[in-house]
Amino acid sequence: MEFRILGPLAVIRADGHPAVLGGRKPRTLLAALLLARGRVVPDERLVSLLWEGVRPSTVDAQLCTYVSRLRKGLGRPARLVRSGGGYLLAPDGGTIDAEEFERLASAGHDELRAGAAGRAAGLFGAALDLWRGPVLAGIAEPLRAGESARFEELRLAVLESRIEADVATGDHLRAVPEATGLVLEHPLRERARALLMAALCASGRPADAVAVYHRGRRILDERLGIAPGPVLQAAYQRVLSG
């Protein structure tokens, strides 16, 4: 069974067919249980996520109904069980794409630290390929908003690491446009800008790398009133020293 949260919430059952999860409330319930990673989610937490504002008088009964429907939709081998005033999901033998993403990213960082940039790039690429769109699309906003911001930061950090690995392997044809797009979308990310400078310099474009630095310095000053940090300053010095 595959649980997918790196995009619209989806479940692929053991028989290969997608599970029928129902509307926003059962989807939000499942998302909360998946994010708890085998820990009990108290009833009060689930109720607060499923009913924003005024709660119906039958809230306890409705929660039980959603749990029952979710059990039926998931089928086996997933185990949605009552425990200690709440519920937990134990997806026996199942996989969660977010956990696979973290596993691949960790292995990629190990390879990068060991100097195996090519293998690191492959692992980072495999991790990024798991993303299918905005995280947890289609669930209640209070849960989605916080989690999507956290996962988006993880994705950007892995993308930066993949660019770093590409630069180390000499794959500048991919590194330069990817880093350019990342800097345009996130102009305050100093690591992304430093990687673009490294890719440009390695491509024989040191003047462009210097221009990227000075644009970043101006943006940081105008928007935040700060000077470039150590990562960006070190990248600039490397360009100047050739």
Listed in order, strand segments (DSSP E) in 54-130 are 78-83, 86-91, 95-96
Assess if residue 225 is contained within a domain.
yes
Cα Dmax for the chain: 71
Closest CA to 194 of 224, 167, 223: 167
CA distance 125 to 129: 6
CATH assignment at residue 219: 1.25.40.10
Last residue of a domain, one of 95, 128, 149: 95
Q: List, run by run, the mean pLDDT of 10-residue segments along the chain (242 residues).
A: 91 86 89 91 91 82 90 80 88 83 97 96 97 87 84 95 95 92 97 97 95 97 96 95 85
The three-state secondary structure class of 10 is strand
The pLDDT, as a whole number, for residue 91 is: 66
Q: What are phi and psi of 16, to 5 degrees?
A: 90, -5
Assess if residue 142 is contained within a domain.
no
Assess if residue 212 is contained within a domain.
yes
Q: How many domains does the chain have?
A: 2
The pLDDT, as a whole number, for residue 93 is: 66
Listed in order, strand segments (DSSP E) in 68-221 are 78-83, 86-91, 95-96
Last residue of a domain, one of 59, 78, 95: 95
The pLDDT, as a whole number, for residue 119 is: 97
Assess if residue 71 is contained within a domain.
yes
- Name residue, tokens 């699309």: 137
Dihedral angle over CA of 98, 96, 125, 242, nearest 10: 30
Amino acid (1-letter code) at residue 213: Y
The pLDDT, as a whole number, for residue 97 is: 93
Assess if residue 145 is contained within a domain.
no
Q: How distant, in Å, are the alpha carbons of 40, 58, 79, 86, 140 from that of 83?
A: 7, 21, 12, 5, 24
DSSP-derived secondary structure letter, 55: P
Assess if residue 22 is contained within a domain.
yes
Length of the chain: 242
The pLDDT, as a whole number, for residue 74 is: 82
Closest CA to 195 of 175, 170, 214, 222: 175
Count other Cβ atoms within 10 Å, centred on residue 95. 14
Last residue of a domain, one of 48, 68, 95: 95
Expressed as residue numbers, the domain containing 228 is 170-242
**What is the token pair recorded at 107?**
């292995």
HSE value, Cβ hemisphere, 13 Å, CA-based, for 115: 0
Listed in order, strand segments (DSSP E) in 18-145 are 41-42, 78-83, 86-91, 95-96
CATH assignment at residue 69: 1.10.10.10
**What is the token pair recorded at 27?**
């989807």
